[in-house]
Amino acid sequence: MAIRTNSIAHVRLTVTDIARSRRFYDAVFGWPVLVEMPADADAATREQLWFLFDGVIYNLGNALVGLRPVAPGTDRFDADRVGLDHLALPVDSHDELVAAARHLESLGIAHEPIKDIGPSYILEFRDPDDIALELTAPK
């Protein structure tokens, strides 16, 4: 019998610099924060929120995206290593991809042109740790 599942509950990305990554993800997506380590957290709070590793978890509604700042500062993402190839996030339309490309440009974030890949359109870009991100829209 196969395990039955119908969505992704959460994804956590390992990053090198939480402040830099927070600036990027907050500016690009503006996701609401579900939970984060308070800057002035006492020992009891740090113990209770140990699973954050001083990071943050964003609430996307049906899924969560976390940033976990434990990678060495010299480390960089590599899609050709075992692990994550890229994180794809849906938008509703091609027009939203066009608006997203403009938003990235306004933030000075490089991106690929919008591509037609057959069943959908994609917009590819990278975060400060070079993690490959993709927005996808249905045809």
**What is the model's pLDDT at position 75?**
87
Assigned CATH topology for domain 1-75:
3.30.720
Task: Please state which CATH number belongs to domain 79-139.
Answer: 3.10.180.10
pLDDT reported for residue 3: 79
Query: Does residue 73 carry a pLDDT above 90?
Result: no
Q: How far does CA 29 lie from the centroid of its chain? A: 9
The dihedral through the CA atoms of 21, 26, 31, 34 has a sign that is: positive
Exposure b/e, 124-137, CB count within 10 A at least 16 = b = bbbbebebbbbbbb
Q: Which residue intervals of the chain bear CATH 3.30.720?
A: 1-75
Shortest CA distance to 123 belongs to which of 88, 84, 83?
88
Q: Give ranges for CATH 3.10.180.10 in the chain.
A: 79-139
How many angstroms separate the first and last alpha carbons of the chain? Answer: 34
* Per-residue model confidence (pLDDT) at position 106: 97
Could you tell me the pLDDT band of residue 108, with boundaries at 50, 70 and 90? very high
